[in-house]
Structure 1
């Protein structure tokens, strides 16, 4: 009997297994497909690999001459972009396989059917464990009329394409949709982006969303906000779509349609029969334990914050509790990262969600940053939100190059309750983009030096 059996080898599953093994537990992981789950195979890694290629191409086209570099006849080669993507994916899979071997985690390939809180079957073989960790992830959402029309893509299908389409209509202006719009438009594919809510990236503040929208429009993307598709008809070489916008109905013809409206927990029938409480996804307490004492759930299967880095930390929390250490999840400082051009990252509270009288907000523009000027970067800002009375950092948003890296300073501040004064006392290196963060912090405390 294993000490723990993990179902699924995505970010939540493989991290849980490794952490348990590192603490001396006898652990096995059952995986029906590839190691790494959605993130490695159909999400984070392939998307960012393709976006890296697209960003390099666009930078060479737009900046090379001004930076004194002669780069004539620069053209993208999708076959090589896809090769880079596949190599990145395979390297990540092999990395997880190596970590399993290094830490003594047993990998069992096949479909796991949960039979009881202490056992599953794989290809008819019964496997027993003292604890189960369910980490079966999520699947793309597809609903009428999209699931009734042949050939409609989800985000998973994008990574299977052998060539770039001439045009795409993307349904959904959230993180997935906007990242895909960035990729395709950067490589000169005609893109139509339709978002039901008031603005793209609806979970972010409008000032961040507007910068991304402007960037996409410069790349030729047609953006329709507060809009929805009301009909789709297959036609020769693509689809005819009717969009209902604020100004009325309009028709668009595109070669492909991609539905990117999010994902839903992959709750299978055997999991339902097991008897775990389900509210959209599997319900757990803050220790990641379900209503069945020895059964835990982590990651997208919970249907809450569906991010790989959240799944990884939930996995660590679950593993520690299985090992007897009392620890609970803290979701107060979860970084959100979006690999658009420019990048967007945020943590903690958003300006749109707070009482203006209770906070102090300051935004420092990228145009006042020396390092950004050397990079020809003109779109972006760093914004901090602090408690008006105590100066405690409550949240931050960064838009610009490497925003997804810069956000960690703010994440640490939110997590540990640091004040703007404490951050201001930290010497930031010059000339760096991190000085945008310092400028915003100075604006909270008093006045910024460089503005």
Structure 2
């Protein structure tokens, strides 16, 4: 008898299992594929590995000469880029396997069949436990008519390609679609992005989306917003797509078509048979407990905030509660990070969602930052949103190099209720990109020094 059986070894499942083991619990993990889940094997890690290669190549092409670095015949080898990606994925996977062994966690490779809230079958083995933790993750969304087109790609298929296509149409201008557009266009692939909503990155503010769109267009990307693909048919040279735009229909022929319109929770019939409450994903309370006693659900299978770092903390929260240590999830300061060029990061409330009469908003341009100028970076900004009465930081948006790292200052401020004045009185190192945040904070307290 195990204390807990965790189904799925992605960011939610493996973190929950390790935390349970650290508290002295006997834990089994069932994973039908590779440990690390989508994030490690087909998502976060491989995407950032190939983007690192693409970013370095693009920097050499665009900046080397101006920075005084003389290069000749700059090129890339896609097979080596993919080899780098595979090495990083394998290292991450082996790292998780090591942590399982270190913490005495038993890993069962195979498909889990849930028989009851306390029993799981894996091949010919039956695992019994006091608690069941469901962390089965998500799969790419593919719907008609695209699911009927042979050879159409989802984001998962990108990492299996043996060579770069000459051209690609990406359906969906959200995070996944725009990161893929950044990668392909940086390596000279002709890219078309079609986004149904008003602008790409529809969950972010329009000013951030505009900077990313400008950067993509410089790389030759064609972007169609407020548009949709109404037909995709195989053709002699790949696929012929019909795009319905604001100005009428147009035809686009590309070697590949990628559907990148998000992901959906993966919930098997065996899990549904438990009688769980399901609304898009498995519903839970703030402790990650479902409506079925002793059954927890964490990560993408909940169908809420589908981010690896959120999944990890949900795993910790579930484990703490199973171990009798009351804990609740706090989603008030979840950072969003997008690895485009430039990067985009945000936390807390966004300008598009707030009543302007209740807040103070200030945006500081990247081009006014000394460190950015040394890097030949000028496109981007840092923006803070604060309560107009108390000065408390409610949200922030950063667009620029290393935005995904810089956002933590704002995340800590939002999570802990810090005020703009408190941040403004904190000395920021010079010359650094973090001074871009300081400039925005100074604007909130009416003291913008460098503008």
- TM-score (structure 2 length as normaliser): 1.00
Gaps of 5+ in 1: none
Aligned twin of 2:312: 312
Distance in 2, Cα, partners of 1:437 & 1:322: 40
**Greater Cα offset, 71-80 or 172-181:** 71-80
> Where in structure 2 are the equivalents of 1:21-420 lying within 5 Å?
21-420=21-420
Shift of 1:384: 0.1
For 1:233-262, what per-residue CA distance to the aligned partner results, in whole angstroms no more than 9, with x for missing partners?
A: 111120111100000000000000000000
Distance in 2, Cα, partners of 1:72 & 1:172: 37
Gaps of 5+ in 2: none
Question: SS at 2:201's partner residue?
Answer: coil
For 1:265-294, what per-residue CA distance to the aligned partner results, in whole angstroms no more than 9, with x for missing partners?
A: 000010001111111111000000000120
Shift of 1:38: 0.2
For 1:106-130, what per-residue CA distance to the aligned partner results, in whole angstroms no more than 9, with x for missing partners?
A: 1111111000000100003211000
Say if 2:237 and 2:253, in contact at 8 Å, map to a contact too.
Answer: no
Shift of 1:326: 1.1
Distance in 2, Cα, partners of 1:126 & 1:29: 13
Distance in 2, Cα, partners of 1:103 & 1:241: 51
Shift of 1:446: 1.5
Distance in 1, Cα, partners of 2:108 & 2:242: 47
Question: SS at 1:49's partner residue?
Answer: helix
Question: SS at 1:193's partner residue?
Answer: strand
Question: SS at 1:332's partner residue?
Answer: coil
Aligned twin of 2:446: 446
Distance in 1, Cα, partners of 2:118 & 2:409: 42
Aligned twin of 1:427: 427
Question: SS at 1:441's partner residue?
Answer: helix
**Count of residues paired in the alignment:** 451
Shift of 1:348: 0.3
Distance in 1, Cα, partners of 2:427 & 2:415: 20
